[in-house]
């Protein structure tokens, strides 16, 4: 047998039959242009270099944008709440965001542990109006509920959830679970886009 | 040539052609539980504990009486006149809020009284990267009920970094202000003031303040 037929991962012997094996020579390691402070992380069957394992999605730049420009069809209980951002942040490498005209309807997350937070800013026709909302993992409500009311000081209560995805993917959305005197989508105005956010942090 | 003449990472196979477990040549040291393999500035990899992320804060500290003054914006003498003065790092040379800075994160402040009184009002970020910003704050306890200030994380060039948040008295609704900034080389960020209503600043509720920035 010739030494030239020997190979460990991608490492080949030199002229003296010595094989120098670096970590990137292993079959399940893929290191591409490593830079300072990157780390190796195991994902989808491969170890690869990546930025620090703190990844996040943030939607909610605070822009003035009328909710009527979203694709939402209702502000009644059960309706999906959309979030506006013309340049959203997404550093979760295997996540995808579903959006139309910069309005986000849902986020699809892969295997991992996450903390999801949401604040909504829908408006109401009555000073006693309010809505409750929760984070949904696929069809199930998870975590604590948030509340939004008539006055802008009543915007800021968060719905929050810790989500564990052990296999496959999950779709994350925010839905109203109760709604009293909420203005219609066409009459919402800018407050929701100005004061809402949806944040996902992988932990 | 026999295969027994082959060596791997300077380790020759035994007579049965077996090699003991190899260590990658470009990874330095042994890992302990919970550590990760990180690329360092020399482009070498080694096992370390959780990597450091730059972070800085201004937080509650040493109160100074119950007197109050009206919040006012713009502060025409400030370099960043529309940024909220978060609170006093010093008053007459006495530290009133605790704070920390870090590599690439430096608190900015307005100076009064010959520099002995310093009110933090912004954060200088140097170095590229993504930073998460959060502010838990409240208007003074001597403000009228329902008093508020509307603030939003912005850069000094007016880039909006998160939602507008209405902040009231500490004994009323507590809302946090969150933002993210993606920095190319450097940036100055602060809490841009959109509106003020009957809000006062007073010196006895420092414990309600936590402003936090973290490179993510």
Which regions of chain A carry the CATH code 2.60.120.40?
55-202
* Identity of the residue in B36, B162, B173 whose CB atom sits nearest the CB atom of A154: B173
CB spacing of B166 vs A153 below 8 angstroms:
yes
Q: What is the mean pLDDT of chain A?
A: 91
The string of pLDDT tens digits covering residues B81-104 is 999 999 889 889 998 888 888 888
Q: How far is A156 from chain B (nearest CA, A)?
A: 5
The band of B173, judged by pLDDT with boundaries at 50, 70 and 90, is: confident
pLDDT top residue among B127 and A81: A81
Check residue B64 and give its pLDDT: 75
Q: What is the mean pLDDT of chain B?
A: 86
| The CATH number of domain A55-202 is 3.40.50.970 | no
Q: Is A181 left (phi over 0), alpha (psi -120 to 50) or beta?
A: left
CB spacing of B45 vs A152 below 8 angstroms:
no
Token pair 């939602």: residue: B163
Q: Measured between beta carbons, which residues in chain A are less than 8 angstroms from residue B41?
A: 36
Top residue of B164, B174, B189, B215 to mutate, by most chain A CBs within 10 Å, is B164
Res. A158: pLDDT tops 60: yes
CB atoms within 10 A of CB A127: 11
Q: Measured between beta carbons, which residues in chain A are less than 8 angstroms from residue B178?
A: 58, 197, 199
Concatenating the DSSP letter of every residue in A123-189 gives: -BSSTT-EEEEEEEETTEEEEEEEEEESSGGG--PPEEEEEEE-SS-EEEEEEEEEEESBPPGGG--
- Strand order through the sheet with B176-183: B98-100, B55-59, B210-215, B129-136, B176-183
A–B: how many Cβ contacts below 8 A? Answer: 133
CB spacing of B165 vs A24 below 8 angstroms:
no
B24 with B79, same domain? no
Q: How far is A54 from chain B (nearest CA, A)?
A: 6
Check residue B4 and give its pLDDT: 52
Distance, in Å, from the CA atom of A112 to the CA atom of A129, rounded to the nearest integer, reads 37
The string of pLDDT tens digits covering residues A160-186 is 999 999 999 999 999 999 999 999 999
The string of pLDDT tens digits covering residues A32-82 is 888 777 788 777 778 888 776 678 999 999 999 999 999 999 999 999 999
Lowest mean pLDDT among A99-108, A141-150, B39-48, B126-135: B39-48
Chain A residue with minimum CA distance to B138: A153
Cα A56 to Cα A49, B57, B93, B194: the distances in Å are: 17, 20, 40, 27
| Closest by CA position to A114, among listed A176, A201, A6, A23 | A201
The band of A120, judged by pLDDT with boundaries at 50, 70 and 90, is: very high
- How many structural domains are present in chain B? 2
CB spacing of A121 vs B163 below 8 angstroms:
yes
Res. A138: pLDDT tops 50: yes
* Identity of the residue in B146, B160, B216 whose CB atom sits nearest the CB atom of A63: B160
Q: Does A38 touch chain B (CB under 8 A)?
A: yes
Distance, in Å, from the CA atom of B193 to the CA atom of B179, rounded to the nearest integer, reads 14
Q: Measured between beta carbons, which residues in chain A are less than 8 angstroms from residue B130?
A: 56, 89, 91
B126 with B202, same domain? yes
pLDDT top residue among A144 and A25: A144
B17 with B66, same domain? no
Top residue of A6, A18, A47 to mutate, by most chain B CBs within 10 Å, is A18
The string of pLDDT tens digits covering residues B14-67 is 888 787 777 777 777 776 666 677 777 666 777 666 666 788 888 887 777 777
The whole domain housing B19 covers 1-51
Q: Measured between beta carbons, which residues in chain A are less than 8 angstroms from residue B137?
A: none
B75 with B43, same domain? no
Q: Does A21 touch chain B (CB under 8 A)?
A: yes
Tokens of B207: 């414990």
Q: Measured between beta carbons, which residues in chain B are less than 8 angstroms from residue A22?
A: 24-26
B141 with B187, same domain? yes
B167 with B210, same domain? yes
Res. B189: pLDDT tops 90: yes
What is the average pLDDT across A108-121?
Answer: 94
Distance, in Å, from the CA atom of A85 to the CA atom of A87, rounded to the nearest integer, reads 5
pLDDT top residue among A49 and B187: B187
The string of pLDDT tens digits covering residues B70-85 is 888 999 999 999 999 9
B41 with B59, same domain? no
Res. A145: pLDDT tops 90: yes
The band of B1, judged by pLDDT with boundaries at 50, 70 and 90, is: very low
Residues listed for chain A: 203
Check residue B34 and give its pLDDT: 64
What is the average pLDDT across B124-146?
Answer: 91
Q: Does A26 touch chain B (CB under 8 A)?
A: yes
B105 with B211, same domain? yes
CB spacing of A23 vs B27 below 8 angstroms:
yes
Check residue A38 and give its pLDDT: 78
Lowest mean pLDDT among B70-74, B182-186, B196-200: B70-74
The string of pLDDT tens digits covering residues A181-193 is 999 999 999 999 9
B31 with B97, same domain? no
């Amino acid at each position: 047998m010739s030494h030239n037929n020997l190979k460990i991962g991608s490492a080949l012997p030199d002229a003296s039959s010595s094989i120098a094996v670096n970590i990137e020579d292993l079959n399940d390691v893929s290191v591409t242009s490593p830079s300072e402070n990157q780390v190796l992380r195991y994902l989808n069957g491969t170890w690869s270099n990546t930025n620090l394992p703190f990844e996040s999605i943030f939607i909610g730049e605070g822009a003035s944008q009328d909710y009527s420009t979203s694709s939402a069809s209702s502000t009644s209980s059960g309706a999906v709440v959309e979030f506006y951002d013309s340049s959203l942040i997404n550093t979760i490498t295997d996540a995808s965001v579903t959006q139309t005209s910069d309005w986000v309807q849902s986020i699809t997350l892969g295997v991992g542990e996450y903390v999801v937070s949401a604040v909504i800013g829908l408006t109401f026709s009555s000073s006693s109006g309010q809505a409750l909302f929760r984070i949904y993992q696929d069809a199930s409500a998870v975590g604590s509920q948030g509340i939004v009311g008539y006055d802008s000081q009543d915007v800021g209560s968060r719905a929050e959830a810790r989500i564990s995805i052990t296999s496959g993917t999950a779709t994350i959305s925010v839905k109203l679970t109760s709604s009293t005197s909420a203005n219609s989508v066409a009459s919402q105005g800018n407050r929701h886009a100005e004061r809402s956010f949806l944040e996902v942090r992988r932990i | 040539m026999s295969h027994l003449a082959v060596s791997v990472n300077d380790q020759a196979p035994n007579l049965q052609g077996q090699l003991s477990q190899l260590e990658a040549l470009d990874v330095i040291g042994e890992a302990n539980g919970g550590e990760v393999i990180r690329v360092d500035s020399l482009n070498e990899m080694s096992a370390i504990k959780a990597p450091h992320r730059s972070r800085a804060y201004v937080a509650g500290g040493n109160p100074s009486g119950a007197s109050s003054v009206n919040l006012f914006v713009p502060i025409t003498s400030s370099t960043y006149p529309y940024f909220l003065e978060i609170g006093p790092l010093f008053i007459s040379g006495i530290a009133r809020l605790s704070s920390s800075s870090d590599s690439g994160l430096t608190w900015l402040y307005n100076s009064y009284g010959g520099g002995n009184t310093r009110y933090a009002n912004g954060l200088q970020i140097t170095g590229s990267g993504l930073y998460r910003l959060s502010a838990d704050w409240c208007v003074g306890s001597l403000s009228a009920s329902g008093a508020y200030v509307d603030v939003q994380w912005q850069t000094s060039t007016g880039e909006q970094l998160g939602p507008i948040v209405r902040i009231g008295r500490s004994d009323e609704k507590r809302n946090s202000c969150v933002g993210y900034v993606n920095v190319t080389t450097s940036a100055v960020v602060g809490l841009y003031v959109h509106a003020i209503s009957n809000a006062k600043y007073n010196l006895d509720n420092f414990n309600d303040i936590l402003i936090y920035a973290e490179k993510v």
